[in-house]
Amino acid sequence: MNLKKKAYELRKDVVDMIYRAKTGHIGGDLSVMEILVDLYYKQMNVTPENFNSDDHDHFVMSKGHSVEALYAVLADRGFFPKEDLKTFATFGSKYIGHPTNKVNGIEMNTGSLGHGLGVGVGMALAGKMDEKNYRVYVVMGDGEMAEGSVWEAVTAGAHYKLDNLTAFVDRNHLQISGTTEQVMNQKSQEARWAAFGWNVISVPGNDLDAIDNAVELAKKVKDKPTVIIAHTIKGCGISFVENQVGWHHHVPNDEEYQAALKELDERGAQYE
């Protein structure tokens, strides 16, 4: 399947999980989807077969609330049966509302923001120590940039010249209480990261080709980690969800659910 269409099919899985469970963070799931599709279908060397080896690429979902998107991708990549998605957030399920390494394919537990980049720094350092060729990818949210611990990790990543580390900022401009600029100004992400010594690439973040090009460019950079500022649309793919702050973790009702699936089908169909 064309990967651009795949991103819309996976969005349907996300909507389905959230509709069933009556919980989830739909807006950020939809904004981050092309990043995950590029990493898991094109870029990262990580499969159910090599996941327990020493040599695969590593991924940390630092914006852990977008776990539904990650579960949808991992299931589709064969890390666990797709049927398991139906147990999301049900009583006793291991498929809880933030990433947990009880789920095959997930290495680190996240949920509290501001941890993932430091984990990525540690993973990338281990790769350098052992002279491994694996790469490390971390996905963060733009609201998360208010966490001070992120900037401790940004400092360390540049200090240790971790060119095997690529971070993403899902720059969708919204967080739970409003725009990032209303809540805590996150303008000029590119300048902030550059000032800390990172290689910075800015892309339209729901454009799969643009993301893929950026990840390729990051691999060629030496002695610096790369951040890809992915300018995304929160709720991307469903017109009435897009750019709506209320849809940070709103659950679709029956009508909205049907309308969402229909629109995602239509938008995906253009890539057939």
Partner 1 sequence: MNKIANKTIINNVLIEEAAKDKNIVVLCSDSRGSAGLGPYSKEHPKQFVEVGIAEQNLVTIAAGLAACGKKSFVFSPASFLSTRSMEQAKVDVAYSHTNVKLIGISGGVSYGELGMTHQSANDIAIMASTPGLRVYLPCDRFQTEKLIRALLQDKDPAYVRIGRNAVEDVYEEGNVPFELNKAVTIQDGSDVTIIACGEMVQGAKAAGELLKDKGISARVIDMYCIKPIDKEAIIKAAKETKLILTVEEHVKLGGLGSMVAQVAAENAPVKVVSLGLPDEPAIAGKSAQIFKYYGMDAEGIVKKISELL
118 counts as binding partner 1 under rule CB under 8 A: yes
Please choose, out of 20-28, 148-156, 171-179, 247-255, the segment that lies near partner 1 by the rule CB under 8 A.
148-156
> H/E/C letters for each residue in 223-237?
CCCEEEEEECCCCCC
- Contact region for partner 1 (CB under 8 A) — 19-27, 83-91, 112-120, 257-265? 112-120
Helix (H) or strand (E) holding 166: strand 165-171
Q: How far is the CB of 37 from partner 1 (least distance, A)?
A: 24
| Minimal distance, residue 1 CB to partner 1, in Å | 32
Residue 141 in the binding site for partner 1 (CB under 8 A)? no
Q: How far apart are CA 185 and CA 198, in angstroms?
A: 20
Q: Are 87 and 93 in contact (CB under 8 A)?
A: yes
- 36 to 75, contacts with partner 1 by CB under 8 A? 54, 58, 60
Q: Supply φ then ψ for residue 10, to 5 degrees.
A: -70, -30
Q: Which of 121, 139, 158, 169 binds partner 1 (CB under 8 A)?
A: 121
Pick one of 3, 39, 75, 153: the residue that binds partner 1 (CB under 8 A). Answer: 153
- Applying CB under 8 A, among 122, 146, 202, 204 the residue interacting with partner 1 is 122
Q: Is 109 in the site for partner 1 (CB under 8 A)?
A: yes
Which of 125, 118, 179, 111 minimizes the C-alpha distance to 148? 118
From 5-13, 108-116, 223-231, 234-242, give the range in contact with partner 1 by CB under 8 A: 108-116
Rounded CA separation 39/227 (Å)? 14
**Locate tokens 């971390």: which residue?**
138
- Pick between residue 115 and residue 171 the one whose CB is nearest to partner 1: 115
| Nearest-approach distance from CB 111 to partner 1, in angstroms | 7
Instruction: Give 101 or 270: the residue with its C-beta nearer to partner 1.
Output: 101
227 near partner 1, rule: CB under 8 A: no
Residue 149 binds partner 1, judged by CB under 8 A? yes
Q: Which stretch binds partner 1 (CB under 8 A): 27-35, 71-79, 144-152, 256-264?
A: 144-152
Instruction: Please tell me the number of Cα atoms within 13 Å of 238 on its side-chain side.
Output: 27
CA angle 86, 205, 43 (to 5 degrees): 70
**Is 225 within 8 Å of 199 (Cβ atoms)?**
yes
Verify binding: residue 126, partner 1, rule CB under 8 A. yes
Rounded to an integer, what distance in angstroms lies between the CA atom of residue 11 and that of residue 236?
Answer: 9
Spatial CB neighbours of 57, under 8 Å, sequence gap ≥ 6: 43, 44, 45, 46, 134, 135, 136, 137
Of residues 149 and 179, the one with the C-beta less far from partner 1: 149
Q: What is the DSSP string of 233-258?
A: -TTTT-TTTTT-GGGSS----HHHHH
Q: Which residues bind partner 1 (CB under 8 A)?
A: 54, 58, 60, 101, 107-112, 114-115, 118-127, 129-130, 148-149, 152-153, 155-156, 159
